[in-house]
Structure 1
């Protein structure tokens, strides 16, 4: 939870003089000026333009919206140019970002807004009715509304007194007084929501130091001459509200001067293939399910991969067979990594300079310590499986307003308990064996069984249920739901339809099994592990 002053990362941070994430963009504007920073569809912003817009937005947030340093600003957008303007404007205004999935349902959004105490939200126009339906249960005072096509077809007329159109906010901001970043390295920058086996979503408190450190750690794996700062084009289909893409494809790309090509809807594979053809791509960030989907597209082989220098996978385990097929089709090796929301997120990465070891993810990045311990907290020798513990400057400050959960997650000497069971070999390479927690990882998104089960149990016809994860080549893991019924007329289709009303898409179970009874312990506790092991065995895991 602290950064040793003697660490390499702390020294590099001191040399840069950065004390706030906005300083990343400040430096990038000086270094890369009129080179493209972010592209989205037919539109793009240079580093100069991004800086200008972020400055105007910061002025609006402080002087127009009346937000003060430390206030929380929720951002509920897909990958759009408005997203990057919003976050850098918020950093300059001294606000704390609350990244919010635009696919969330009303209950999911309500919890995140209410828990964070967000006073304002930057939101897509089509999501305004959702925000209105929960607003009275939150602290949201102002909606800053944008449309997907705002850059090409700007709209400025608001629909209500407490609404401001995004483009109008930029125009107004240019007329308002200057603001200066007032947050320091150890101030809160982002509340990135994760979850737990209890199903309660928690805000990981990521400071400016945490995120700046992880940017420096992430770029340290690139060898001199391997990429050229200011002259690479990175395709960014992973959503920026996800912590991996937020750090790697947004913050780190600004630091390195890369042009990030934002994919607003990665499910639109036709559009994504067209974007990949439009640019001379040199870097690609993906996830197992996306690699599978792209390779199945009939036009995939028409994309030019000859200039690609680096392909990386993060957010979910990479299937070995998928990686091999990708290399055969494109000539590119996929480099895998590992991280957590609580670690900003990158912890481990495979690089071009480390030997490939099948089944192992890679080695710890700069200034990151790992160890494997038994249930009593005793460190285990190389090759012995146990819980993975992590320590480094990227590790969060704790969970927002949850001191007990924070205390449970850290050891007294500051090691983060990952909840993952792993093995570290004598050379420091990590292999993940299992998860101590029951979390399910669907296409890079954490799904917590109780979250799904709570939604399912809102149906009066369902008696009991248990959600487990099973291996899935495309998604990494899929959700299987076991249920017993009050209403014997309920069908699997009925249960899926109910889930779709209560849960965002990736949380909806892929498989339903109806049983007369579900296994329980002697005290009546549902035995999730028994069902998970049975489901995995049936799936051939």
Structure 2
């Protein structure tokens, strides 16, 4: 079974059930399916064949949903990207994915032709063939330690397995009404979209958490029963609205939190405000979405852990030689399950197999499992910076910094932040005085997304490197 076929079944069994709400627009499952079919017909009419890539700007509107599932129904591979993607990253993704079409709204499209969502529809009829589970549905581009985008291949089976695991743990049902304010260019937000529609529930689209008036207004207007957020979102909600969320304690059935560090005191505060809400926090990565879960109230004695393995998932810890470790022993966290990605785009299977220990995918995270099965993370082996749940490559930020006249070279690390979990700190070598720091930050806003701009700058004489010339970022921590 694939998610697209499940949406079709909902359109037959519950055609008038509201699937998506966006402002004053409410779309039933019958209308949702018809619009998905019209989008699929467009791709087919343009001659796109099975396996061709389509870059889709993941802006939070109903047209994205039609195009996303429509591309799948037409046999295409979707490449969802952030509408704010900078041109350097966009070019690298295009070079890697070689898409046949780019659709949506991109702020930095430059010379590339980008078709608006309004064009992605056709009334031409066609025979529907649902994708097979082993087929690749999406390429989600992460940022690897080299700074080059890495295309994670997710099959339809991977996506269905993940949605099933998540819904099983949280306890989602068709009666849920979920507010989606997360970015849907990332695994978390896109996963929530799929989880809701798999269950035949209702999804309420909200641009972001920026406006508390809109956030709480939609919770009241649409009788929302749950939502997903990252810890940075909660810090913002608490700062801007104090304890107002407690007013909805009897209404909110669940909250899913993920993608970044959250202080225990904030977890406990949320528990006090929402004593009967199932507050879940996940651990995972794009390659293996939501591999572990913790339920704050049920696991209150283990709030410093990331919980236990998700349903239908196995977690084990291995040493650097690939030996399985016992409880309490620290090593690399590895996961196994149907949700683990099918591979990396352009990487041969025999090379991809090196990312596994005895069938367990290597996450690159370091930790241990205690005698009760709770997973504790100690550090990240990789150097990716996690800003409020968004992954930042130090290489990408360094490239932008080094393009600024007066900066000879730079190195970036993540440093702790009470709200965002981590923020970027840059060490720079060059002729610029400290008085130019604010100007440097301002110039960076034109080169990278705002969350990638260094919050802290430190001027140093030289960057520590290995004998082969590789930057030793860990020495700067």
User: What's the TM-score, normalizing by structure 2?
Assistant: 0.93
Shift of 1:530: 1.5
Distance 2:278 2:313 in 1: 25
Where is the strand percentage greater, Structure 1 or Structure 2?
2
* Residue among 36, 40, 46 paired with 2:22: 40
Distance 1:486 1:352 in 2: 50
Distance 1:97 1:289 in 2: 28
Task: Indicate the residue corresponding to 2:355 in structure 1.
Answer: 410
Task: Indicate the residue corresponding to 1:67 in structure 2.
Answer: 48
Task: Indicate the residue corresponding to 2:190 in structure 1.
Answer: 246
Corresponding residue SS for 1:180: coil
Corresponding residue SS for 1:284: strand
Range 423-432 or range 262-271, more displaced: 262-271
Task: Indicate the residue corresponding to 1:389 in structure 2.
Answer: 334
* Residue among 350, 353, 375 paired with 2:320: 375
Shift of 1:279: 2.0
Task: Indicate the residue corresponding to 1:162 in structure 2.
Answer: none
Shift of 1:222: 4.0
Alpha-carbon spacing, 1:529–1:104, altered in 2? closer, same or farther (3 Å): same
Shift of 1:479: 0.8
* Residue among 390, 394, 399 paired with 1:454: 399
Alpha-carbon spacing, 1:32–1:305, altered in 2? closer, same or farther (3 Å): farther
Q: Is 1:296 matched up with 2:239?
A: yes
Unmatched tracts of structure 2, length 5 or more: none
Range 184-193 or range 21-30, more displaced: 21-30
Task: Indicate the residue corresponding to 2:73 in structure 1.
Answer: 92
Residues 461 and 490 of structure 1 are in contact (CA less than 8 Å); yes or no, is this contact kept in structure 2? no
Alpha-carbon spacing, 1:521–1:255, altered in 2? closer, same or farther (3 Å): closer
Alpha-carbon spacing, 1:312–1:406, altered in 2? closer, same or farther (3 Å): farther
Q: How big is each residue's C-alpha offset from its partner over 1:121-163, in whole Å with a ceiling of 9 and x where there is no partner?
A: 2212xx37x32x142xxxxxx63314xxxxxxxxxxxxxxxxx
Distance 1:412 1:372 in 2: 10
Residues 236 and 284 of structure 1 are in contact (CA less than 8 Å); yes or no, is this contact kept in structure 2? yes
Corresponding residue SS for 2:234: helix
Q: Is 1:432 matched up with 2:387?
A: no
Residues 212 and 241 of structure 2 are in contact (CA less than 8 Å); yes or no, is this contact kept in structure 1? no
Q: How big is each residue's C-alpha offset from its partner over 1:322-362, in whole Å with a ceiling of 9 and x where there is no partner?
A: 2222233344463211111011x121112489533121111
Task: Indicate the residue corresponding to 2:252 in structure 1.
Answer: 308
Task: Indicate the residue corresponding to 2:139 in structure 1.
Answer: 191
Distance 1:335 1:58 in 2: 35
Alpha-carbon spacing, 1:512–1:117, altered in 2? closer, same or farther (3 Å): same
Residues 178 and 224 of structure 2 are in contact (CA less than 8 Å); yes or no, is this contact kept in structure 1? yes
Residues 77 and 122 of structure 1 are in contact (CA less than 8 Å); yes or no, is this contact kept in structure 2? no
Distance 2:41 2:467 in 1: 61
Distance 2:170 2:457 in 1: 44
Q: Report how many aligned residue pairs link the two structures.
A: 474
* Residue among 206, 212, 220 paired with 1:277: 220
Residues 54 and 100 of structure 2 are in contact (CA less than 8 Å); yes or no, is this contact kept in structure 1? yes
Shift of 1:412: 6.2
Unmatched tracts of structure 1, length 5 or more: 1-17, 136-141, 147-165, 533-541
Corresponding residue SS for 2:426: strand
* Residue among 307, 330, 335 paired with 1:362: 307
Distance 1:333 1:253 in 2: 16
Shift of 1:409: 5.0
Corresponding residue SS for 1:501: coil
Alpha-carbon spacing, 1:66–1:420, altered in 2? closer, same or farther (3 Å): same
Shift of 1:67: 1.5
Q: Is 1:143 matched up with 2:124?
A: no
Corresponding residue SS for 1:350: strand
Corresponding residue SS for 1:503: coil
* Residue among 162, 169, 190 paired with 1:221: 169
